[in-house]
Chains A and B, each alone.
Chain A
Amino acid sequence: MITGNIITDFCLLILFLPVVAFAINIFIGKRLPRQGDWVSVGAILITLVLSLSMLMNMFMNWDPNFSHEVQFSWIDLGAFKIELGFWVDNITIVMLVVVALISSMTHIFSLEYMKGDIRYSRYYAYLGLFTFSMNGIVLANNLISMYIFWELVGVSSYLLIGHWFEKNSAANAATKAFLTNRVGDIGFFIGIMLMFTAIGSFNFQDLFSGISQGMISGQLLTLAGVGIFLGAVGKSAQFPLHIWLPDAMEGPTPVSALMHAATMVAAGVYLTVRLFPLFSPEALLIIAYVGGFTALFAATIAVTQNDIKKVLAYSTVSQLGYMILAVGVGNYVAAFFHLLTHAMFKACLFFGSGSVIHAMHHSLHELNDQDTDPQDMRNMGGFKSKLPITYWTMTIATLTIAGVPFFSGFLSKDAILAGTLAFAKHYPQHFLLPLFGFGAAAITAFYMFRLIFMTFHGEVKMPKVFKGIHESPRAMTFPLILLSSLGFFIFYTLPYFNPFSDHGWFTELIQASDSVVKGNPTAEEIYEGIHHAHYPAMALSLLVASFGIGMSILMYMKKKLSADIWAAKMGFLYKLSLNKYFFDENYNRFLYQPVLKLSQAIAFVDWDLYDKYFINGFGRVTKWLSFLTGRIDYEGLDQKLVDGVGRTAQGFGNQLKNVQTGRLQNYMLFALAGVIVIIVMQTI
């Protein structure tokens, strides 16, 4: 049993150990043996142990209402007070374990994957910073410290995406990620300030009680909620700010795993889960539609991508859309459940793709081949025999993401789909939401198996490269095995063993709380609805998943249906999807270019007109005036007045000097004259 104070200590350690590792590695990492990777790995493993012990404590307590809050005042200006602190409940603990676990796996995986990198110790330092920032978000009990860590996550992602900044594309991707996130963060900040203005506190509990007292309501509350959600849109790569995530694949693959599973994109979902009670019905509806649309939309892009990491990236966008959709329909516990299961299988998939790319890279390196893209699935095929561990672990993760029974993804996805189905039952006008969900589920199953088939099955596309492919070392396969095994349902349903029900420790320990906004259904009502929709949703999701998998098998394994002919048939749609709906191009044409033109125009006004004429003119007038003043001062004052006084004195002196002849007799004469004058005056 761990008491409150010890929990606080644990949280502090979990928060600060990675940043200590960051500080050590960034300053003296290069001089340490093995470039300091053991510092980071050690720190993150201790963090993992601490997180796991908190998880064990949670199991021992078995208290769904467990909550522990500590805070200290950061800024105290009398009336204006900002307090920072931790809010630890079961959600926090589970999330801490996820972050620590995925981060540890990333650290271990990188030992091999990043071996020999030019900025090896810096890479480990940034991983520490990333983990620290994410833990800060997880532990935050108020909006302001969440915002601080939110930005820190942005910075660390920038640093890691741009790790190979010699490549132009990597540097650009990093900038793009950062700037796109900033757009969302502006909304987040507006939301925070609206909340603060109305309620006067940043603390979550204060916000909830303030809203239930009606201190902020109606349109303003919706606006604040949408603002906060906009932050999540940026971080969790939701439509229309999803554009940065696929580009972020420029970073090292383990970083992608970390970012997609635990630290970066999870932050947005975590935020909405954390703040679920304060969203108004209208805001939730917007959230649901954004999430649902993103889920389907990203899935359709993933279908046609050929880069193994791009497929996974769009799959992440799609899965995040699911989570956001679940929050929007009020089933936020399911969103968090999916966040948990998704973290495991998506990290596994990314590590798997990293393993494949690593193998490709080495093989190409031996052949001295610089032109072949090691990430293009069209160059792969038949890797099953060469990379058995990678193949099996990735297949398990794929079964998980596709929503096949006995795997965790089935449970969490099913919970989300049941939520949307219940929502649509209650509000028939929103029938699109379950359509989004089920459609995305079918497509997800399809493209994930397409990835597996294209990479590991079929005939060998490049025999020369194929010969050089070897299974990755143990430091890379260990995370794969661990994370793929965490895809089995059993880890989430203990102490029960029913593979068709998510009933287990998770649902018992993490229970939805009521929304504090009037007009939202209570947690009980939502639960009732989901309960009724559970079996139809399960049947439907099984159906769509098997349809997707079946199509994939027909097209890419059995080759009964030709993918090329289908692509030609779809023509226009295929092109749209392949080019990601021309989002980047359209943003460029309708957003960036006009903004650029506008700023060029402003720059012209500013530089060529304002600066040149006004500022420079002002300068010229000043120069002229000071020249005049100088003239007056020097020629008038100095030369005439000041020097004049001197000259006058000199003139007088010169005149009077003549009196002093130096001749004694003259003086005597003057004295005599004086005496005579005095005598004469006395006589008169």
Chain B
Amino acid sequence: MDSLTNYLFVSASLFCLGLYGVITRRNAVAVLMGVELILNSANINFVAFARFSGMNMAGHVYALFVIVLAAAEAAVALAIIINIFNNFKTINVDDVSQLRQ
């Protein structure tokens, strides 16, 4: 059980789930959650490769960077979402299609 393939499999499933959430969700917050899933699937990959390829701590450090980045990204994205709500009174991304006009 303890093989790289399993981790990669979990990671890929998580990425697909995240991508699916980003593409299909109408709620902007849910889209953001999808993005978090994708980031975390990448994190699993970093850690798994670091563990099984005999690398040193570089993979773990990168995972930590990603978590920090994700926190910053979530802060910015939430700020954007709050602004969207202020402007459109909705956070449904389908309704926020002003670029089309």
Contacts and interface: CB of A to CB of B under 8 A. Distances in A.
Interface of A: 660-665, 668-669, 672
A549 B24 CA distance: 143
Contacts of A660: 99-100
B23 A668 contact: yes
Contacts of A669: 23
Contacts of B93: 663-665
B97 interface: yes
A671 B5 CA distance: 27
A489 B61 CA distance: 150
Contact of A662 (B19, B22, B25, B97): B97
Contact of B100 (A662, A665, A672): A662
A411 B93 CA distance: 132
Interface in B43-101: 93-94, 97-101
B22 A665 contact: yes
Interface residues of B, number: 13
A491 to B, nearest CB: 114
B16 to A, nearest CB: 11
The 4 A-B residue pairs with the shortest CB-CB distance in the complex, in nearest-first order: A662-B100, A662-B97, A662-B99, A665-B23
A438 to B, nearest CB: 119
A668 B34 CA distance: 13
B24 A663 contact: no
B39 interface: no
Contacts of B94: 663, 665
Given A663-B93, A665-B24, 6 more contacts: A663-B94, A663-B97, A665-B93, A668-B23, A669-B23, A672-B19
A669 B34 CA distance: 14
B87 to A, nearest CB: 15
Nearest to B101: A662
A661 B97 contact: yes
B31 interface: yes
B74 to A, nearest CB: 17
Contacts of B25: 665
B52 to A, nearest CB: 24
Contacts of B99: 660, 662
Interface in B19-43: 19, 22-25, 31
A661 B23 contact: no
A661 B99 CA distance: 8
Given A663-B93, A663-B94, A668 B100 contact: no
A662 B24 contact: no
A672 B25 CA distance: 16
A165 B85 CA distance: 99
A547 B19 CA distance: 148
Given A668-B22, A669-B23, A672-B23, A661 B31 contact: no
25 contacts: A660-B99, A660-B100, A661-B97, A661-B100, A662-B97, A662-B98, A662-B99, A662-B100, A662-B101, A663-B93, A663-B94, A663-B97, A664-B93, A665-B22, A665-B23, A665-B24, A665-B25, A665-B31, A665-B93, A665-B94, A668-B22, A668-B23, A669-B23, A672-B19, A672-B23
